[in-house]
Amino acid sequence: MTHVIAQPCIDTRDQACTEVCPVECIYDAGDQFLIHPAECIDCGACLTACPVNAVYLETDLPRGWQGFAEKARKHFGT
C-alpha cells in the first residue's frame, strides 16, 4: 500500500479525492473513504485534492494513525 486515508477524513463527506483518482481505487467505507491498497497506482492525485489533508504515504502516517493502514487492508481483505 502506498497511500492511506487517515483520521481527518472520518465523517467528512467531500469526495474530491474520488473525483481525481484515475483508477477509481478510493471507496466510501461508511465513516470515511479508504484507498484500496492493491488498486492504487501511487499517482498522488488524491494528496493534493483532499480538502482535509487526510491522505498520507503509508510510511509518513503521523504517530497514532498507523492503524488506518491496517483498517484499509482489513476492509479490502488484502
The CATH fold of domain 3-76: Alpha-Beta Plaits (3.30.70)
Within the chain, residue ranges assigned H as helices are 16-20, 45-49, 67-76
Q: How far apart are CA 28 and CA 48, in angstroms?
A: 19
C-alpha cell recorded at residue 49 = 485534492
Question: Sign of torsion, CA 73 75 71 22?
Answer: positive
Task: State residue 1's pLDDT score.
Answer: 56
For the record, the C-alpha cell of 16 comes out as 474530491
Count the Cβ atoms, other than its own, within 10 Å of residue 64.
9
pLDDT in tens, the chain (78 residues): 589 999 999 999 899 999 999 999 999 999 999 999 999 999 999 999 999 999 999 999 999 999 999 999 999 998
Contact by Cβ (8 Å): 78, 10: no
